[in-house]
Amino acid sequence: MRNLGSFKGIGLIGALMLVIGVGCGKASNEAAGKRAQAAAGSAAATFAGGYPIRVVTTCGMVTDIVRQVAGERGEVIGLMGEGVDPHLYKPTRNDVRELLEADIIFYVGLMLEGRMTDTFVRVGRQGKPVFSVTEEIDPALLREPPEFEGHADPHVWMDVAAWSECVAMVAKTLARFDPAGATVYEENARAYREELKTLDEYAKRVIGSIPEQGRVLVTAHDAFGYFSRAYGIPVKAVQGISTESEAGVDDVVRLVQYIVDNQIKAIFVESSVSGKNIQAVIEGAAKQGWEVRIGGELYSDAMGQAGTYEGTYLGMIDHNATTIARALGGTAPERGFSGKLTPAHE
Ligand SMILES: [Zn+2]
C-alpha cells in the first residue's frame, strides 16, 4: 500500500537490464559495479600528481561530502547543479572531458546515475579510479522495495545515519589514494560525521513531533523511502523510485482518494521533479471538496542553490525535515536546527 508506483518499477527494471546487459536479480547491479572497478584497476591506484587533487563528482550530495572530507587537499568539481535530476542526467561532452581529466571520481551508484553508467565504465577502462560512495555500505542499511526487486533504492542520503557511512567510505578511499593526507581525511570525516549525528537527532525529533494522525509524507516521486524509515513517517508518492517512469492516471486517482480519506493537510513538491502530478492531485482532491495545500518544496535528488545553506547536504536535510514538520502540524524552529535556514516566506 505504501507505494503507488509499484507497477512502474517493472518498466524501470527492464530498462536497467538493458543498460547493465546481464541477467536478472541482485547480482547484476553488483556485477556492473565490479566491472567498472575491474576496468579501472582503481584499488591499486595512488595519487602522484600535484595538489589539489582533481576530484570529479556527480550530484550535489556527493559533491558536498567529498568536499567536506577532502578539505584543501582536493578541488571538487560537481557535474550536476541545482535542480538537476540524476535519474535522467546524460553526461555532456564537457562532463566527459572533466571525467577524463579527473584524478579520482565519486558517484552515488545503485543505478541512480543510470545514464552515466556507460561513461563510468569507459573512463574506468582508461585507468581512472572510479568509486561509488555506496559501494561498501552495509547491505542491512539499504532498502530493497518489493517493486524494485533485486535493486536497492539509491536515495541513501535521505537517511543521515546511512549517508554518514558513505562519508566514512569517502575518507577511507581518499586515504588509500593519497596516503600522505590520511590523517586529514580521517579527521575531516570525524568532525563532519559529528555534525551529521546532530542533524539526524534533530530530524528524528521534529518529524516525531507531527501528530500521528496526519504524519504522512506525500511527494512527487518515491525518493523518501529512507527518510520514512529513518524518521518514522509513512510516504506516498505519485511516481515510482525513478523519475524515468511516468505516473499513470490510476496512480493519481488512488493518491487523491487516500488524501481525501485521511484528510491529509499538505503535500510536497520537489525541486528536481516536475510539479504537474502534484498539481493534478490537488485538483482531484478539490473536486471531492477536500482542500490540500502545497506544504513546501523539498530537495529530493538535488540540493539548493550553490553558495547557500540549502545548497549543502546539511541544509538540504534540515530544510526538508523542518518544512515537513511545520507543514504537517509538528514543532520545528522556523530557521531549522542550526538557525541558518531561509524561512519559507522569504
Ligand atoms: Zn530520485
Name the band, by pLDDT with cuts 50, 70 and 90, for residue 346.
low
Judge if 186 and 219 occupy the same domain. no
Q: Quick check: 241 and 148 in contact, CB under 8 A?
A: yes
Judge if 283 and 304 occupy the same domain. yes
What single DSSP character describes residue 52?
A: S
What pLDDT was estimated at residue 190? 98
- CB within 8 A of 257, min separation 6: which ones? none
What pLDDT was estimated at residue 40? 46
Assign 344 to helix, strand or coil.
coil
Lowest mean pLDDT among 5-9, 57-61, 269-273: 5-9
Please state the rounded mean pLDDT for residues 168-173.
98
Judge if 181 and 213 occupy the same domain. no
Distance 46 CA to ligand 1 centre (A): 33
Q: Which three cell numbers stand for residue 181?
A: 593526507
C-alpha distances in Å from residue 156, one per residue of 147, 223, 230, 281, 344: 17, 9, 11, 27, 26
What pLDDT was estimated at residue 29? 46
- Could you tell me which of 30, 38, 37, 88 has the C-alpha nearest to residue 59? 88
Judge if 40 and 156 occupy the same domain. yes
Distance (Å, rounded) from C-alpha 256 to C-alpha 218? Answer: 10
Distance 51 CA to ligand 1 centre (A): 34
39 in any annotated domain: yes
Judge if 194 and 221 occupy the same domain. no
| pLDDT of 5 higher than 80 | no
Q: How many domains does the chain have?
A: 2
Q: Which residue range forms the structural domain that includes residue 242?
A: 204-327
| Domain end call among 173, 202, 231 | 202
| pLDDT of 20 higher than 70 | no
Judge if 196 and 209 occupy the same domain. no
Judge if 196 and 213 occupy the same domain. no
Q: At residue 119, what is the residue type?
A: T
27 in any annotated domain: yes
Distance 243 CA to ligand 1 centre (A): 6
- The environment of the single-atom ion ligand 1, i.e. residues with CB closer than 5 A, is 223, 301
What single DSSP character describes residue 43?
A: G
C-alpha distances in Å from residue 115, one per residue of 87, 109, 213, 221, 311: 7, 11, 40, 18, 24
What pLDDT was estimated at residue 12? 38
Name the band, by pLDDT with cuts 50, 70 and 90, for residue 2.
very low
337 in any annotated domain: no
What pLDDT was estimated at residue 147? 75
| pLDDT of 80 higher than 90 | yes
Judge if 13 and 150 occupy the same domain. yes
Q: Quick check: 297 and 268 in contact, CB under 8 A?
A: yes
| pLDDT of 180 higher than 80 | yes
Distance 49 CA to ligand 1 centre (A): 35
What pLDDT was estimated at residue 244? 67
Lowest mean pLDDT among 43-47, 68-72, 167-171: 43-47
Lowest mean pLDDT among 104-118, 273-287, 310-324: 273-287
Distance 301 CA to ligand 1 centre (A): 5
| Domain end call among 148, 168, 202 | 202
Distance 67 CA to ligand 1 centre (A): 22
Q: Count Cβ atoms within 10 A of the Cβ of residue 11 and give its class: 0-12 exposed, 13-18 middle, 19 or more buried.
A: middle
334 in any annotated domain: no
Identify the residue whose cell numbers are 543521515: 160
Assign 288 to helix, strand or coil.
coil
Lowest mean pLDDT among 19-28, 207-216, 284-293, 329-338: 19-28
Distance 241 CA to ligand 1 centre (A): 6
What pLDDT was estimated at residue 272? 74
Assign 46 to helix, strand or coil.
coil
Distance 88 CA to ligand 1 centre (A): 9
Distance 239 CA to ligand 1 centre (A): 10
Q: Which three cell numbers stand for residue 82?
A: 541545482
Distance 298 CA to ligand 1 centre (A): 12
Distance (Å, rounded) from C-alpha 63 to C-alpha 65? Answer: 6
CATH code: domain of residue 157: 3.40.50.1980
What pLDDT was estimated at residue 247? 66
Name the band, by pLDDT with cuts 50, 70 and 90, for residue 83.
confident
Q: Quick check: 84 and 305 in contact, CB under 8 A?
A: no
170 in any annotated domain: yes
Q: Which residue has the higher pLDDT, 80 or 280?
A: 80
- CB within 8 A of 227, min separation 6: which ones? 158, 159, 217, 233, 235, 320
What pLDDT was estimated at residue 245? 66
Judge if 141 and 286 occupy the same domain. no
Contacts for 95-98 with beta carbons within 8 Å, 24 or more apart? Answer: 95/119, 96/123, 98/56
| pLDDT of 125 higher than 80 | yes
Percent of the chain with pLDDT over 90: 69
What pLDDT was estimated at residue 171? 98
- CB within 8 A of 22, min separation 6: which ones? 28, 31, 32
1 in any annotated domain: no
Judge if 133 and 245 occupy the same domain. no
Distance 273 CA to ligand 1 centre (A): 9
Query: Phi and psi dihedrals of 75, rounded to 5?
Result: -105, 115
Distance 259 CA to ligand 1 centre (A): 22
pTM over 0.75: yes
Lowest mean pLDDT among 9-13, 69-73, 83-87: 9-13
Name the band, by pLDDT with cuts 50, 70 and 90, for residue 138.
very high
Judge if 180 and 310 occupy the same domain. no
Model pLDDT for residues 219-228, shown as the tens digit of each residue: 887 899 999 9
| Domain end call among 185, 202, 219 | 202
| pLDDT of 248 higher than 80 | no
339 in any annotated domain: no
Judge if 197 and 218 occupy the same domain. no
291 in any annotated domain: yes
What pLDDT was estimated at residue 143? 95
